[in-house]
Each structure stands twice: as C-alpha cells, then as structure tokens.
C-alpha cells in the first residue's frame, strides 16, 4: 500500500511539473533535473517513516491545490492589444442584438406557446429576461474590470482560479459551438418549411440515419452555411461586423412589420380560451392565460432562456472594442432592452392573433400569416427570418475562436490555436477549426437535441460570473496576491457579524464571503430539488416538504445577511452591479433553478463533454499553463524548495519576474509564418 501511495505521489508531482521542466531542450538537462529529483525523493521515501510520507503527501496536495487555484495577474489594463480595435458602440450593440434576435423570435416563441406556456409565454420571456439581465450586469462589471478576450473564462481566471476558469472556458466553447449549430439547423428547417419540406424529405429518402441520438438525415445545407460564415470571420472582423449591422437592421424592420401586421389581427379573447372551446385532440391544457400552470411557465422560461443567449458575446470583444470599459457595459444593457421588448411584443402578437394550440412550432409566423391569408406578409417575414438567422449565426460564431484564442494564449489548451494572421489580425486556425466542429454538429444533430445540449453550459457560466462578482467585490487587490493567515474561533464569530465594524476587506472577511456563497449555492440546489417538481407534491398533504423549504430559505436569508455585513472593496470602476450582494445571489438562484429544469439526458451529455475537457487539462493544460511556468522555477525543481503555499513568483531562471511582463506574455501572438 505504501509503495502504491509513493508511486501515485510521484505521478502527481510529475503532473505538477511545467512542461518546460520535463522536456528536452537539446541538452537533456531539464529532463535530467526532474528525473534525478523525483528518483532521489522516491528512493529516500522508501526508507522514510509514515509521518514523513504523510508530510510529503500533504505538501504535494497543497501544491496541487495551488496549481488548480492559481490566478491570472490582473495588472494589464488591456490598452495594448495585437488584435485590431475596430468595434464601436454601434458594432457591439448590433452584435449583441443580431446574435440573440434570431431563433428565439422566429422559432422559439411559437414552440413555447404551443408546448409549454400558452399565452403565458410572455411571462416566460419576462422571467428569462430578468435572469439574463442580472447576468448581463455581472458581465458588464467584469468587462469594466478585465477588458480582455475570453468572456467568463478570463473573469473567473482572475477572481477564482485556473481550474474553475478552464471549466467555464470549456463550457463556453460548448455553448458557442452548439449555439452556432442550432441556429444553422433552425435556418435550414425554416427554409425547408417554405418549400413544403421537400429538402428534408429528399434527404431522408436518400441518406437516412437510423440512430436515436442523431438527426434523421445529414443536413448538408447547415454544414455548408457554417463553413462559409467561418471563412467570413477568418477574413476579418470589420468586414463581418459590417454585414452583421446590415442584417440586424433588416431584422428589426421585419420585426416591426410583424408587430404592426399581427397587431391588426389581435383578439384578446385568445388569452382567455375556455376549456370547452379547445378542439378535441389539441394540446390545450386547461385553457385560459396559463393553460399549463406555473410549472408550464417555468419550463417555458428555461426554454426561453435560450432566446437570450448571445449578449455575452459582447463581453468577449475586449481586445477589439474601442474604449471597452465604457462601450461593453453600455452595449450589453442597450442590447438586452431591445431584445426583451422585441420578444415581449412578438410573443404577445403571436398568441393574440392565433390560439396557442394552433401555433406552428417550427415556423410560427409564416403559418400565422398564411392562416390569415396575408401571403405577401408571409414572404416578407420569411425573408426577414433568413436574414435574422444569418445574423444570429454570425453572432454565435463570433466569440468562439476568441475564447479558444484566450485559453490557448494562457497555455491551458493547445497553443497552436493562438496563432493570429498578421494581415487580417484574426485567429484564423481557431476560427476554422471551431467552424468545422460546429458544422459537423449542425449536420448530424437535430434542433431540439442541440438546444437541450447548450443550456446547461451557459447557465453554469452565468453562475460562475455571478459568484466571481461577489468574490472580487469583497476582497481587495492586495488580498489577491497574498496567501496564508491564521485566526481563532472567537475572531471568526466576531467577523461573521463584523463586530469590529472594519471598512476594508481582510483575509478573514473574504474567506467568510467565499464560504457563505458556496453554502448558499448548496442550499439553492436543495431548494430547487423541491421547487422544480413543486406541482407534484407541494400542497397541504406534504407539510414536511413545506417546512424543509422554509428552513432552506431561512438559511439562505441568513447567509445573505452575513455577506452583506462584510466590508467591500472601494475600487473605482466605470460600471458596478447595483444592490450587491442581492442581485448576484438572485442570479445564482435563477441560473441553478433553470439548470434543474433540464432532463437527465442533458446532464449525461454535459458530463461527457466535461470529462473530455478535464482529460485535456490534466494531460496538457496544467503542465503548459503560462501561470504555472511563472510560479515554478527550475531551481525549485532541483532543490525541492517552494514557498509556504507551494508556489512562488519567480521564473525558470530563478529571477523575479514583473507580473505585468508575465501577463503580457500570456497574450503574445507568434507572428512566425
């Protein structure tokens, strides 16, 4: 058993060695240093006492934890970037609106109205909008703090640590890949519906796919469209954003036409249909405004949340935006307002002009105007839908190569992906590879499968951003660069209520906030386990369930009070989330609640994706991390020395490295051909 522990310990230590320390650079010295160092230690440990082994294990585990939680230095203001700063406030707003007002308007509203919420789809959109708006505020604060490409990935890297950042970045990749694929598939289905499904019928007869978890046929149209737009993005940012702005303008005009034409045919009685008026065989529930009850509204909200995914792509343009500290938060807020008003108006007109149980879940507006006999409006709307889905596709693809670029620049995924074309100043390899992956998924999976697969990663990213806002707000810059402190139980109890009335964050106050937020999330998960199936058993027959929910809510309120009493950092930013900690905690609740709405199949697919990502991180990323290379030195490897927390701030040559130099190095782009 001891020998097994020693071998596992040796492997763990090898895992913690940066790649530069275990690779041959020509003379073999670095590999020799590691091998001799590890062999000597392992040999000596065979004759060591159990207490020495335990101390060695404790040291290795501490170093392993230090590797997982090492943070990116946030000292670069982002003013210097090798990506072209060409995106104006109008470009950023158009990007957010265009990437969001697509599938949600032209497909999602009719589907949710018919299957989940009925006329209460407007409430479902409202709930999803509130959750998205709070998440957007959190994104906006981080954009002001860290104007770097990478979105929630960089935000969590700065505030929480590398392992969490990798998890979020990996799930953002999932979000953007599936977002691109789902929009392409939706556009293909929309075009197919306009020609009486002749395309799908022909492909189904010629090349059927008889696999449960795949589409019924390969969608080559979606495949080709995704590759074309990937090439457009690789050609240059300015060219693609110009087209995006044009398409977005057309999209908004068409939405206006729908609102006016549909509004002329609105009948308020369609929001109060009686059960006896519902045709036999129709999925009409109990009629009225909310025919499927509260559960239907919330299930609809979980699906409507997909319609707001896309605004966060604005936050990934920090290295290409002009005046990012001001324009990114402002663009997020403006785009969210426009998006919500459009969804609310569209869903209102749709459900008032036609009963909810008669909606077409794939192409509701052409179906509406065809039913009304307005053929000209039908084709105007259909053409507008194609334009809108093009902009949504472009907006979904836009942030994907930039997240890959940021992660590869930091060394935690393959560094070849950071290569930027010196002529177009875009990450060409990352763009084309991500486009190819999205194209393959669009060809092989149907729309519903893609929508189900993307929600969980998005919601998890939003949750981490909200948590990161709290972590950064309740600790100062100095606390982010120092570690280690000791306290007594009376000091902890006193600080929980801030009995000393301190005004500046300390290690203890920051730790209390972090622990409180984690416990709050656990209690939210428990409450969601009760709330999600609420319609089934929360009633007078189950007082124990009600009591359990009340206790959980009481604990969550208590944790909110504890966090509120702690001192906050007073750093000045161009934008800050108001009502902290209330709004970030509400965001955590909303996001986790919607995650619990997802089915088990979604969780299984998500788990598979996570396992693949962690395999990449633990076999490559943890040893090639730029931060890891900064924190460990060759001299430490040879002498077996480390700082108290297992890491220090020197480079491989043993000399102290300025943090700003290291930070800039992580975004250096190789211009070699």
Tell me: the pLDDT tens digits for 200-215?
888 888 888 887 777 8
d(CA 239, CA 376): 32
Confidence tier at 147 by pLDDT (50, 70, 90): low
On whether both 280 and 325 belong to a single domain, the answer is yes
**Residue 50: which H helix or E strand, with range?**
helix 50-69
On whether both 49 and 109 belong to a single domain, the answer is no
Residue 168 lies in a domain: yes
On whether both 353 and 439 belong to a single domain, the answer is yes
- For residues 126-153, give the mean pLDDT: 76
On whether both 231 and 281 belong to a single domain, the answer is yes
Nearest to 665 by CA among 410, 404, 321: 410
Can you read off the two tokens belonging to residue 53?
Answer: 């082994």
Interval 40-59: pLDDT, tens: 455 555 566 677 767 777 77
Query: How many domains does the chain contain in total?
Result: 2
Is the confidence at residue 563, as pLDDT, over 90? yes
Out of 471, 506, 521, pick the residue that ends a domain: 471
* 197 backbone φψ class: left, alpha, beta (φ>0; ψ -120 to 50): left
Residue 543 lies in a domain: no
On whether both 322 and 217 belong to a single domain, the answer is yes
Residue 479 lies in a domain: no
Out of 414, 448, 471, pick the residue that ends a domain: 471
Residue 494 lies in a domain: no
Interval 486-544: pLDDT, tens: 778 888 889 898 888 888 898 889 889 999 999 999 999 998 888 777 655 555 566 77
On whether both 311 and 368 belong to a single domain, the answer is yes
Interval 447-463: pLDDT, tens: 777 777 777 877 888 88
Nearest to 122 by CA among 256, 270, 264: 270
Out of 426, 448, 471, pick the residue that ends a domain: 471
On whether both 287 and 383 belong to a single domain, the answer is yes
On whether both 368 and 463 belong to a single domain, the answer is yes
Place of tokens 């700063």: 85
d(CA 420, CA 87): 18
On whether both 40 and 108 belong to a single domain, the answer is no
User: Where does 70-120 have alpha helices with state H?
Assistant: 89-100, 103, 109-112
Interval 429-451: pLDDT, tens: 888 888 898 999 888 887 777 77
On whether both 104 and 7 belong to a single domain, the answer is no
On whether both 147 and 178 belong to a single domain, the answer is yes
On whether both 167 and 57 belong to a single domain, the answer is no
- pTM of the predicted protein model: 0.77
Can you read off the two tokens belonging to residue 332?
Answer: 């997020």
Can you read off the two tokens belonging to residue 87?
Answer: 């995106």
Confidence tier at 638 by pLDDT (50, 70, 90): very low
- For residues 9-24, give the mean pLDDT: 58
DSSP designation for 217:
S
Residue 409 lies in a domain: yes
Give yes or no for a cis peptide into 459 (omega within 30° of 0): no
Residue 253 lies in a domain: yes
Provide the residue range defining the domain that includes 21: 2-69+625-665
Residue 497 lies in a domain: no
Can you read off the two tokens belonging to residue 495?
Answer: 């600080």
Residue 389 lies in a domain: yes
Residue 343 sits in a domain of what CATH number? 1.20.1740.10
């Amino acid at each position: 058993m001891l020998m097994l522990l020693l071998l596992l310990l040796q492997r763990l230590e090898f895992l913690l060695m940066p790649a530069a320390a275990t690779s041959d650079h020509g003379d073999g010295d670095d590999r020799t240093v590691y091998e001799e160092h590890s062999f000597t230690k392992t040999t000596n440990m065979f004759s060591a006492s159990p207490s020495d082994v335990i101390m060695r294990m404790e040291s290795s585990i501490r170093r392993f934890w230090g590797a997982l939680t090492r943070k990116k230095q946030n000292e670069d203001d982002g003013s210097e970037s090798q990506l072209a700063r060409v995106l104006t406030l109008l470009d950023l707003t158009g990007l957010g609106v265009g990437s969001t007002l697509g599938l949600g308007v032209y497909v999602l509203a009719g589907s949710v109205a018919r299957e989940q919420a009925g006329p209460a789809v407007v409430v479902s959109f409202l709930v999803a909008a509130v959750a998205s708006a709070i998440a957007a505020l959190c994104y906006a604060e981080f954009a002001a703090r860290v104007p770097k490409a990478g979105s929630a990935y960089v935000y969590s890297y700065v505030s929480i640590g590398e392992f969490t950042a990798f998890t979020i970045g990996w799930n953002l990749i999932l979000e953007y890949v599936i977002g691109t694929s789902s929009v392409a598939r939706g556009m293909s289905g929309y075009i197919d519906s306009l020609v009486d499904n002749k395309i799908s019928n022909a492909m189904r007869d010629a090349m059927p796919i008889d696999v449960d978890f795949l589409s019924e046929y390969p969608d080559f149209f979606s495949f080709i469209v995704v590759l074309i737009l990937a090439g457009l993005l690789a050609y240059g940012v300015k060219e693609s954003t110009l087209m995006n702005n044009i398409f977005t303008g057309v999209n908004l005009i068409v939405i206006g036409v729908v609102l006016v034409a549909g509004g002329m045919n609105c009948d308020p009685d369609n929001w109060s249909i009686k059960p006896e008026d519902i045709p036999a065989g129709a999925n009409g529930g109990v009629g009225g405004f909310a025919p499927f009850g509260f559960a239907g509204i919330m299930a609809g909200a979980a699906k409507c949340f997909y319609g707001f995914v896309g605004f966060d792509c604005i936050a990934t343009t920090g290295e290409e935006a002009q005046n990012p500290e001001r324009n990114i938060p402002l663009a997020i807020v403006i785009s969210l307002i426009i998006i919500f008003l459009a969804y609310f108006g569209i869903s209102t007109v749709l459900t008032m002009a036609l009963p909810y149980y008669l909606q077409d879940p794939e192409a509701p507006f052409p179906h509406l105007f065809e039913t009304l006999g307005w053929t000209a409006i039908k084709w105007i709307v259909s053409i507008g839908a194609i334009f809108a889905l093009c902009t949504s596709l472009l907006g979904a693809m836009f942030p994907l190569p930039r997240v890959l670029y940021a992660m590869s620049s930091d060394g935690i995924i393959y560094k070849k992906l950071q290569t930027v074309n010196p002529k177009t100043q875009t990450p060409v390899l990352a763009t084309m590879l991500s486009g190819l992956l999205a194209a393959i998924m669009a060809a092989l999976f149907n729309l519903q499968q893609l929508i189900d697969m993307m929600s969980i990663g998005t919601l998890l990213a939003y949750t981490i951003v909200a948590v990161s806002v709290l972590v950064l707000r309740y600790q100062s810059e100095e606390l982010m660069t120092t570690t280690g402190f000791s306290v007594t139980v009376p000091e902890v109890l006193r600080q929980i209520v801030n009995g000393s009335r301190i005004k500046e964050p300390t290690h203890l106050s920051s730790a209390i906030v972090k622990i409180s937020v984690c416990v709050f999330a656990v209690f939210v998960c428990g409450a969601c386990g009760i709330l999600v199936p609420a319609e089934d058993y929360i009633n007078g027959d189950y007082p124990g369930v009600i009591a359990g929910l009340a206790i959980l809510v009481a604990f969550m309120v208590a944790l909110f009070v504890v966090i509120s009493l702690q001192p906050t950092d007073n750093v000045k930013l161009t934008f800050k989330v108001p009502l902290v900690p209330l709004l970030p905690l509400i965001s955590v609740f909303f996001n986790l609640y919607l995650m619990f709405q997802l089915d088990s199949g979604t969780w299984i697919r998500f788990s598979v994706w996570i396992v693949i990502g962690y395999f990449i991180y633990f076999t490559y990323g943890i040893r090639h991390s730029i931060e890891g290379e900064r924190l460990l030195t060759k001299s430490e490897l040879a002498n077996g020395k480390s700082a108290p927390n297992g890491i220090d701030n020197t480079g491989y040559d043993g000399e102290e490295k300025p943090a700003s130099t290291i930070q800039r190095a992580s975004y250096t782009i190789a211009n070699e051909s």
